[in-house]
Amino acid sequence: MAQLTYRDAVARGIAQEMARDEDVVFLGEDIAKAGGVFKATVGLLEQFGPLRVRDTPISEQAILGAAMGAAMTGLKPIAEIMFADFIAVCYDYIANEFPKSRYMTNGQVKCPLVVRVGNGGGARFGAQHSQSIENWVMQFPGLKVVAPSSPVDIVGLMAAAVRDPDPVIFIEHKSLYATTGEVPDGEIVDTLGTAKILRTGSDCTLIALGMMVPRALAAAERLQAEEGISCEVVDVRSLVPLDTQTILGSVARTHRVFTIEENPRVLGWGAEIVSIIADEAFYDLDGPPVRITTPNIPLPASDILEDLAIPSVGRIFETVLRSMRS
Amino acid sequence: MAQLTYRDAVARGIAQEMARDEDVVFLGEDIAKAGGVFKATVGLLEQFGPLRVRDTPISEQAILGAAMGAAMTGLKPIAEIMFADFIAVCYDYIANEFPKSRYMTNGQVKCPLVVRVGNGGGARFGAQHSQSIENWVMQFPGLKVVAPSSPVDIVGLMAAAVRDPDPVIFIEHKSLYATTGEVPDGEIVDTLGTAKILRTGSDCTLIALGMMVPRALAAAERLQAEEGISCEVVDVRSLVPLDTQTILGSVARTHRVFTIEENPRVLGWGAEIVSIIADEAFYDLDGPPVRITTPNIPLPASDILEDLAIPSVGRIFETVLRSMRS
Amino acid sequence: MAKSPKQDRSVTAVVNDDISEAKRLEMFRAQVLMRQAEQRAFDLFLENLVKGTSHLSLGQEAIAAGVAAAMEPGDLSFCTYRGHAHTLARGVPVEKVLGELMGRDNGLMRGKGGSMHLTSVEHGVMGSYAIIGAHLPIACGAAWRAQYKGQSDVSVCFFGDGTTNIGAFHEALNFAVIWKLPVVFVCENNLYMEYTPISEVTAVEHPAADRASAYGLPRIIVDGNDADEVYRTMLEAFRKARSGEGPSLIECLTYRHSGHSRADPAKYRPEGELERWKLRDPLTIYKARLREFGVSEADMKAIEDDVKRVVDEATEACKAAPFTSTDILFTDVYADGGWAWRN
Amino acid sequence: MAKSPKQDRSVTAVVNDDISEAKRLEMFRAQVLMRQAEQRAFDLFLENLVKGTSHLSLGQEAIAAGVAAAMEPGDLSFCTYRGHAHTLARGVPVEKVLGELMGRDNGLMRGKGGSMHLTSVEHGVMGSYAIIGAHLPIACGAAWRAQYKGQSDVSVCFFGDGTTNIGAFHEALNFAVIWKLPVVFVCENNLYMEYTPISEVTAVEHPAADRASAYGLPRIIVDGNDADEVYRTMLEAFRKARSGEGPSLIECLTYRHSGHSRADPAKYRPEGELERWKLRDPLTIYKARLREFGVSEADMKAIEDDVKRVVDEATEACKAAPFTSTDILFTDVYADGGWAWRN
Ligand SMILES: Cc1ncc(C[n+]2csc(CCOP(=O)(O)OP(=O)(O)O)c2C)c(N)n1
Ligand SMILES: Cc1ncc(C[n+]2csc(CCOP(=O)(O)OP(=O)(O)O)c2C)c(N)n1
Ligand SMILES: [Mg+2]
Ligand SMILES: [Mg+2]
């Protein structure tokens, strides 16, 4: 058991899979010699050599296209798209190619690959380098999406993603890279499609993801300590497949639900979850499901403004409190 | 008053605005000499000349980028992206450029442009030419999205979109091009952000868009005639801005709601609407809000399969009936 | 502008050359098969038995034939929505292609993909891609796999003149060169994108060849209506690819006899253009070639008749085949065979 | 590979030439201002008064200076995330730039955009774009507007060597040429993308210039550390653009003295590379040039001192300025001034 940063967990997760399977290869901009712009892939070039860990030009379409062609014909590529926002310049692969090739060919073509992206705000990078792009990628039948919030989940879900026979978008949160957590020694393999209840509670369920997970936990602490409100906190972890059993199970116990989303409101992942709860757990609900999100604005660069925009512990606390008391 | 096809309404709508304002220019692939691959822009080149109606190379990024640069500096461009699915190859402008330029520059930069796309299924074009891409474009603060379902709405909303000072995605449904409707003579200018109640009813609200509108209306007829269920049918028309007053008002009267979406289920526009209703009209609801969508599959090419995939009048009828009876 | 076909090509009889008679007959048969199968597809469309869209290669068959003849089993093809010809050229049965167009259970993908997505992994046809440009990087990836695994296959990527103006073209070419990938890019310059002449929207005369130097590649232009020329050029490109010398970019000059897609009457053509190109129909050229090398009219006729029989039989089989069964609607979205996105 | 700077440049004294002393002093002052303002930005970052990221142009100033000196009022600049220099070169006050970096109310965009998005429409700085490649087509659009409206302004688009490998580069270049747009593409080849040498990921030696022929453009390479060379080359490009002869693509050879962004110690540089390039520091070169043309040390010193005063005053003003007010969080999402997406 070791304390590991979320950043180092990325390299460890990739290394675990590359050591296991020679077909796992890794490509992206500045990922090899420089160890990644977030330093999350330091050491991989040295360990696995320049044929398996490859720097690319600034050609995101070539990166994802090449990953797909390799995946179709026998490799298991991991591709990095540096900032999640850049998914927009290679979106054709996300929307039209990866997820559809198996279906269109009646199962002839497979596409086992992983696309890692650095997601989210908090670093004062402004509107084009801070976005939470879960809702750019989760709507495509055929694609899977995971978003780990802790070092141990990074390692285990990376293994699950690499071993999965479907294309997986692996969302890392930039503002979590420096956080640490316990990670057991030896091989770790987690399971896609599983949420985790990180804190049990009886009054309401907080559903969070990525950087919103530690904030939800902190808000839950305060709600318990200061207001006696007992919150269950669910880390969604996997958006596709979605662990609706865990989510609906929690709502069936608490009867109230809040989603805590870093993305701006419109069509955030919480909308899908709320629509499922509203349909399938309608009679379990004692009050309206509430979505706590970044407001409908691009992210500003100034630290003061950015901190106001993204849901904070304080805002979560107050929104839940107000809603539970009303 | 004339009978016009939805297809001809597009050309009329564009012509109305180009005749009014010299700053309105139009570019896209095969839109000028050939009159568009859907023949929706026939005659515009002849009427407005080659400086205002311009054929482009197959360079969607150049098309949208050029539209933006022109819009920033004084023109009001209309750009065509032929099949809506191709939005994926120029998504950076949709996600990162159009919607953010005004905010990031603290209001210095404006971006008044319209992007027309041919959306939706029904033509047996297969998985990469049949998608309903509302949920690829509606999540960006700063961008507006309209999706007319009738010829008169095409003309009026085109005028509204062209005159609007914000970037607007204008979603035309390919399978509606051949449909006809009455269109008054003279200038028509509609309003963005307004839904339309196309049929009043008291038992439940059907919320639809695009090609799902005629199907919702037909299902409502049958439900009334065969089962005595009175459905109100709302044509959303404008996803951003969203006319929540009309939607919430209808739900407050009927107490039950169904969204009818052509997109595959996950994160369709209905999810956002349901999440709003569940939060803000929770106590109005007499039963769960239900989403009727294409299942979680890419669209197949075969006519038999495609017809099974997209919500049909029969499926709407049965889903509403089952849910209202349970 | 590359507008007028060569019409003054003087034919000199040669008895022996580098291409065997067997190879020539293979290429002839392939061209006849593509021609007849695609004409049949058009007839079936007129009978309303083919739904959706389809894009024919009538007039461009020499390219698919010449390339396929140079390929080894195991080499991979990446095609466009205009992919019937390339799929047939790799040996995929006509019945499976027509069946797919007709949405029958015997179709290559049982109707799930349709005309624009023909795929037969077993024949090395790794897919037909309908979004312009996407498959150029994908072909690079397949070639990267071969390079990484030390496998000797080459990936061939077909695309049109119009495709050279999209970003993915540029990214793929640069990528293939810097990684020295065993991939061959075959541009079929048929002078038009959908309806717009390529010369009106392209900064150089030869949309592919005049860009080769931007990637450090030689400028290669071939007569795309002459299967032999295509074949010879491809042999050299394959040799380069297999010996680790990296990719090639080859521009084949050709012309499509039909409209862009089944919906297109092709009224945008200048008068006489089609007629001039029809004089250089790849089949006409190839028959002359065969004659030159002593193949008899009877032998040619026998091949044509045999192909006709194959296409007729395939047509009957497709007409008799059941429509695709609806239970496949939900299969193969994910690798577990199903479509479940939640538990 | 374009790796080593010219070191043998022999300087011959010239008394009269095509560039006036006033113009030279303008370019000198601009370079000094960029240098000092960016060094100040770095100091402020070390004091934790600048948050977020920032990308400096230290060592590359001659390009921004030479280009700006050739521009007319009304001409438009489209910059990248490495855009401080180009913004300052167009006359945007230092205070507004530093204020933006520091998130103050006096900032160019009051802190909403930050270092990577500097924009001052009033000075013709039409934005700084942080997604590689996006602004090349946008600059085309601005140029199209000028062409359509018969206006005489030219759009200048700055970008790095690494940007030449992304698809949007290719689409923009082709587009600009076929429409003959009054746009000038200025590639600053500083030998690196972020940390990876451009030569390792590019199929040609000169990432921009060696691609010019793919768009029918001449191959133009200039010494990007010599403001005069840049200036002269730009004058010709502007002349072309304004007279309807279309776009230019100009590759300027240069080197950045600092890391890619504030987080980068630039350890990937081969030993001695930075030192060699520092011998060709644009300011060193330009001072020598001024001396050649008889400008005194005292005159140069006076300019440096005056710039220092300006930068100092701007710094103080920014430190004294209030942080941006929180009420602008919700403004200017839409043209109505607000953020409402529903009624
Ligand atoms: C990204 C994208 N843009 C536009 C289209 C629509 N489209 C289909 S075929 C075609 C013309 C392609 O021309 P070319 O590459 O010359 O191939 P050809 O059809 O002549 O074989 C166009 C524009 C598309 N499929 N994908
Ligand atoms: C589409 C996209 N991919 C990657 C990046 C990350 N990135 C920012 S700067 C940069 C290097 C750019 O190199 P170059 O064009 O040479 O400009 P320079 O930084 O040297 O001025 C990269 C890869 C980005 N901003 N956008
Ligand atoms: Mg073509
Ligand atoms: Mg650079």
Burial of C316 (0-12, 13-18, 19+ CB in 10 A): exposed
DSSP result, C222-253: EETT-HHHHHHHHHHHHHHHHTT---EEEEEE
Instruction: Establish whether the linkage from the previous residue to A298 is cis, with ω within 30° of 0.
Output: no
Task: Identify whether residues A173 and A273 lie together within a single domain.
Answer: no
Residue B24 to residue B148: CA distance in whole angstroms: 21
Task: Identify whether residues A251 and A148 lie together within a single domain.
Answer: no
Determine which residue's CA is closest to atom 17 belonging to ligand 2.
D160
Collapse the DSSP code of A173 into the 3-class scheme (helix H, G, I; strand E, B; otherwise coil) and give the result.
strand
Range of the domain at B172: 2-183
pLDDT of A237 over the 50 cut = yes
Of the candidates B94, B104, B142, which has its C-beta nearest A126's C-beta? B104
Domain boundary among A134, A155, A183: A183
Residue B235 to residue C140: CA distance in whole angstroms: 46
* pLDDT < 70 positions in chain C: 1-16
Q: Could you give the number of structural domains in chain A?
A: 2
Burial B80-94 (b: 16+ CB within 10 A, else e): bbbbbbbbbbbbbbb
Look at residue D3 in the predicted model and tell me its pLDDT: 40
Q: Which residue in C174, C200, C211, C215 has the most chain D C-beta atoms within 10 A of its own C-beta, making it the best mutation to test that interface? A: C174
The CB-side HSE value for B249 (13 A sphere, CA atoms) comes to 12
Mean pLDDT rounded to a whole number for chain B? 98
Q: Which chain B residues are within 8 Å of D332, Cβ to Cβ?
A: 102-103, 106-107
Task: Identify whether residues B12 and B159 lie together within a single domain.
Answer: yes
| Bridge partners (DSSP) listed for residue A207 | A234, A259
Strands C248-253 and C221-223: parallel
* Backbone φ and ψ of A247, nearest 5°: -65, -50
DSSP state of D324: P
Of the candidates D108, D120, D141, which has its C-beta nearest B68's C-beta? D141
For the CA of A86, the closest atom of ligand 2 is: 1
* pLDDT < 70 positions in chain D: 1-16
Collapse the DSSP code of D132 into the 3-class scheme (helix H, G, I; strand E, B; otherwise coil) and give the result.
coil
Look at residue A1 in the predicted model and tell me its pLDDT: 80
Q: Which chain C residues are within 8 Å of B57, Cβ to Cβ?
A: 162, 165-166, 193, 201-202
Task: Identify whether residues B135 and B210 lie together within a single domain.
Answer: no
Q: Where are chain C's structural domains?
A: 58-83+120-297
How many Cβ atoms are within 10 Å of A98's Cβ, its own excluded?
Answer: 26
Tell me, yes or no, whether B69 lies in a domain. Answer: yes
Instruction: Check if B80 has its Cβ closer than 6 Å to any atom of ligand 1.
Output: no
Tell me, yes or no, whether A261 lies in a domain. Answer: yes
Give me the residues of C, 99-118, that contact A with CB < 8 A.
108-110, 112-113, 117
pLDDT in tens, A287-322: 999 999 999 999 999 999 999 999 999 999 999 999
- Distance (Å) from CA B136 to ligand 2 centroid: 25
Domain boundary among B183, B211, B246: B183
Task: Identify whether residues A169 and A200 lie together within a single domain.
Answer: no
Residue pointed to by tokens 């090398």: C293
Residue B96 to residue A299: CA distance in whole angstroms: 11
Contact A274 B279 (CB under 8 A): yes
Instruction: Check if C83 has its Cβ closer than 6 Å to any atom of ligand 1.
Output: no
Q: Which of B44, B89, B85 is nearest to B64 (CA)?
A: B89
Tell me, yes or no, whether B34 lies in a domain. Answer: yes
pLDDT in tens, A78-133: 999 999 999 999 999 999 999 999 999 999 999 999 999 999 999 999 999 999 99
For the CA of C60, the closest atom of ligand 1 is: 21
Look at residue C149 in the predicted model and tell me its pLDDT: 98
Nearest bound ligand to CA A118? 2
**What tokens were used for C175?**
């990528």
pLDDT in tens, D287-338: 999 999 999 999 999 999 999 999 999 999 999 999 999 999 999 999 999 9
| D24 CA: distance to closest CA in chain B (Å) | 31
Q: C178 at the D interface (CB within 8 A)? A: yes
Contacts of residue C13, Cβ cutoff 8 Å, sequence gap at least 6: C292
Calculate helix-pair angle for C297-320, C21-46, nearest 10 degrees. Answer: 40
Task: Identify whether residues B207 and B179 lie together within a single domain.
Answer: no
Q: Which chain B residues are within 8 Å of A298, Cβ to Cβ?
A: 99-100, 103-104, 141-142
Collapse the DSSP code of A144 into the 3-class scheme (helix H, G, I; strand E, B; otherwise coil) and give the result.
strand
pLDDT of chain B along its 326 residues, tens only?
899 999 999 999 999 999 999 999 999 999 999 999 999 999 999 999 999 999 999 999 999 999 999 999 999 999 999 999 999 999 999 999 999 999 999 999 999 999 999 999 999 999 999 999 999 999 999 999 999 999 999 999 999 999 999 999 999 999 999 999 999 999 999 999 999 999 999 999 999 999 999 999 999 999 999 999 999 999 999 999 999 999 999 999 999 999 999 999 999 999 999 999 999 999 999 999 999 999 999 999 999 999 999 999 999 999 999 999 98
Tell me, yes or no, whether A188 lies in a domain. Answer: no
A163, amino acid identity = R
- Cβ atoms of C177 and D199 within 8 Å: the answer is no
Contact A271 B271 (CB under 8 A): yes
Residue D291 to residue D25: CA distance in whole angstroms: 11
- Cβ atoms of C127 and A97 within 8 Å: the answer is no
Region A137-164 average pLDDT: 98
D213, amino acid identity = S
Instruction: Check if C215 has its Cβ closer than 6 Å to any atom of ligand 1.
Output: no
Instruction: Report yes or no for ipTM above 0.95.
Output: yes
Of the candidates A103, A267, A298, which has its C-beta nearest B297's C-beta? A103
Contacts of residue C308, Cβ cutoff 8 Å, sequence gap at least 6: C36
Task: Identify whether residues B147 and B229 lie together within a single domain.
Answer: no
DSSP result, C24-59: HHHHHHHHHHHHHHHHHHHHHHHTT-S-S-----TT
Q: Which residue in A132, A144, A272, A294 has the most chain B C-beta atoms within 10 A of its own C-beta, making it the best mutation to test that interface? A: A272
Look at residue D262 in the predicted model and tell me its pLDDT: 83
Spell out which chain A residues touch chain D, with contact meaning CB-CB distance below 8 angstroms.
29-30, 33-34, 37, 55-61, 85-86, 88-89, 123-129, 265-266, 295-298, 300-305, 308-309
Tell me, yes or no, whether A145 lies in a domain. Answer: yes
Look at residue C188 in the predicted model and tell me its pLDDT: 98
CATH, domain range C58-83+120-297: 3.40.50.970
Task: Identify whether residues A21 and A166 lie together within a single domain.
Answer: yes
Total beta-carbon pairs less than 8 A apart between chain A and chain D: 131
Strands B231-235 and B196-199: antiparallel
Q: Which CATH number belongs to the domain containing residue A277 in this structure?
A: 3.40.50.920
D97, amino acid identity = V
First and final CA of chain B: distance in angstroms?
45
Look at residue D16 in the predicted model and tell me its pLDDT: 56
DSSP result, C156-196: EEEEEGGGGGSHHHHHHHHHHHHTT--EEEEEEE-SBSSSS
Q: Which residue in A139, A143, A257 has the most chain B C-beta atoms within 10 A of its own C-beta, making it the best mutation to test that interface? A: A139
DSSP state of B283: G
For the CA of B92, the closest atom of ligand 2 is: 1
B173 is a catalytic site residue: no
Task: Identify whether residues A164 and A226 lie together within a single domain.
Answer: no
Contact D117 A301 (CB under 8 A): yes
Q: Which chain B residues are within 8 Å of D247, Cβ to Cβ?
A: none
Burial A248-277 (b: 16+ CB within 10 A, else e): bbbbeebbbbbbbbbbbbbbbbbbbbbbbb
| A64 CA: distance to closest CA in chain D (Å) | 13
Contact C171 D171 (CB under 8 A): no
Domain boundary among A183, A207, A233: A183
Tell me, yes or no, whether A190 lies in a domain. Answer: no
- Distance (Å) from CA C166 to ligand 1 centroid: 10
Instruction: Check if D193 has its Cβ closer than 6 Å to any atom of ligand 2.
Output: yes
Determine which residue's CA is closest to atom 13 belonging to ligand 1.
C193
Look at residue C263 in the predicted model and tell me its pLDDT: 82
Instruction: Check if A306 has its Cβ closer than 6 Å to any atom of ligand 2.
Output: no
Pick the catalytic residue from B52, B102, B129, B237.
B129
How many Cβ atoms are within 10 Å of D306's Cβ, its own excluded?
Answer: 13
